[in-house]
Chains A and B, each alone.
Chain A
Amino acid sequence: MFTGPLQALVDELGRLPGIGPKSAQRIAFHLLKVAPEDAMRLAEAIVDVKERITLCPRCFNVAEGDLCAICSDDRRDGTMLCVVEDPRDIVAVEKTQEFRGRYHVLHGALNPLEGVGPDQLRVKELLGRLDDEAITEIILCTNPNLEGEATAMYLARLLKPLGLSVTRIASGLPVGGDLEYADELTLGRALEGRREVDA
């Protein structure tokens, strides 16, 4: 429809998640209009990320260089390991500034309906880390949905017999939410996990 290179750009943009053909055209024409250095900066950022970002061979977080920033940081507590589904979950946990241990990324959760079993996740690598590192506690930080809960139960069944402390993140009400709108499952768990109030 458009001239060669422009059509190629529209086609490539159209393959990105959430970008339809119209959005692809709009972004392509925007890139045509912007200053050449702005467009080159975007192109370089894409090339850089593909060339320099890899998966950390220890925790499977995204990494620049050999180990990721968290694995290569000696100040982190090597005895605690937080198991998450996705590298983006690490960012969410890090923002809390409550956890000083290290991570392990599974890259998914058990989903038998989609054919995702334990072999498709980084479970073997997790077990391998237990031999090499001085880990004493594992925090199962998978999503609080059916797939995430099933993954946590599966890992607990594998890890508990090894004599480790295996914990699951609590689930309950979001801060700032209304009790009236809480669903029964969440509210039930929040009641179950209630805590003594410090006077």
Chain B
Amino acid sequence: MSLYRDEGVVLRTIRLGEADRIVTMITKAHGKVRAVAKGVRRTKSKFGARLEPLSHVSLLCWQGRELDIVNQAEVTDTFRAVREDLGRVAKAYTVLEVTDQLSQERHANPRLYDMVVGALRALDARDAPLLVPAFCLKVLALEGSSPVVDECVSCGEREGLVAFDIIEGGVLCRSCRRGRSISPAALELVRRILGGGLTSALAEPDGPLAGEVTDLATEAMEAHLDRRLRSVRSSPTA
């Protein structure tokens, strides 16, 4: 067994035995890691609240064959504003679930890691209605599955784009239309998210437009993962 240092974000935890937990984290240098936090459920545990889901921590771990063991953990960021707001907790759960599904064990993905930390910091600073859809679309782009939004995926037509079909891989024109309809404003917003206008997109207010982009991004992410996002379906704010 070897000892290693890294930094990570706790994605989820499951109970193990009497007082332990298996903590699933995305780390910067070791990818997704599952590690045992011994005694963490006791009130006097040295870990305290450091290994709760959402915590951004610097770690010292023993590497095991399957499960590592957390030796020490120091908090970098607790994202307290997120924890204390039900709406933001629900959004953070979706960010964590998507990350858990896309990250691979012991396979470093520093760009995904930076995006997760960035998304949680943005959520901590402000409850942006479009944070989750923007995160999903950006992660899809990172995965090489970004939807085509500049031209019809079927015929290449650049005008009159009115539909969106994730199976086809993007938007469709009037004559090729399939899937769900997309409003011009929603299309423009998706283009802004994917094309470098993320800050202005995150400043958009809540409303039907944000709802349309959220549904579209959720559908695209679920199609990419080939499973439903539980955190969206059983959200306490739904």
Contacts and interface: CB of A to CB of B under 8 A. Distances in A.
B48 A112 contact: no
B127 interface: no
Nearest to A176: B44
A188 interface: yes
Contact of A112 (B18, B100, B230): B230
Contacts of A18: 17-18
A183 B48 contact: yes
A186 B86 contact: no
Contact of B235 (A114, A117, A186): A117
Contact of B53 (A146, A151, A153, A181): A146
B139 to A, nearest CB: 17
B50 A183 contact: yes
Nearest to B230: A115
Interface in A107-162: 110, 112-118, 120, 144-146, 149-151, 153-154, 157
Contacts of A153: 84-86, 89
B227 to A, nearest CB: 12
29 contacts: A18-B17, A112-B94, A112-B97, A112-B236, A113-B96, A113-B100, A113-B231, A117-B233, A117-B234, A118-B236, A120-B234, A146-B52, A146-B53, A146-B54, A146-B89, A149-B89, A150-B90, A150-B236, A153-B84, A153-B86, A154-B86, A154-B236, A174-B43, A174-B44, A181-B46, A185-B48, A185-B49, A185-B75, A188-B80
B93 interface: yes
A177 interface: yes
A184 interface: yes
B83 interface: yes
B238 interface: yes
Interface residues of A, number: 29
Nearest to A112: B231
Interface string A154-198: 100100000000000000001011000111111010000000000
Identify the 9 closest CB pairs spanning chains A and B, nearest first.
Answer: A183-B48, A117-B234, A112-B231, A153-B86, A185-B49, A154-B236, A174-B43, A115-B230, A112-B93
A196 B85 CA distance: 28
B78 interface: yes
A77 B215 CA distance: 47
B82 to A, nearest CB: 10
Nearest to A152: B86
Contacts of B54: 146
B12 interface: yes
B164 interface: no
Given A112-B230, A112-B235, A114-B230, A185 B80 contact: yes
Interface string B19-50: 00000000000000000000000011011111
Nearest to B229: A112
Which of A116, A150, A176, A188 is the most central at the interface, judged by chain B CB atoms within 10 Å of its CB? A150
Contacts of B93: 112-113
A112 B90 contact: yes
A91 to B, nearest CB: 15
B234 A184 contact: no
Contacts of A151: 236
A185 B78 contact: yes
B236 A146 contact: no
A144 B235 CA distance: 19
Which of A146, A153, A174, A176 is the most central at the interface, judged by chain B CB atoms within 10 Å of its CB? A146
Contacts of B12: 113
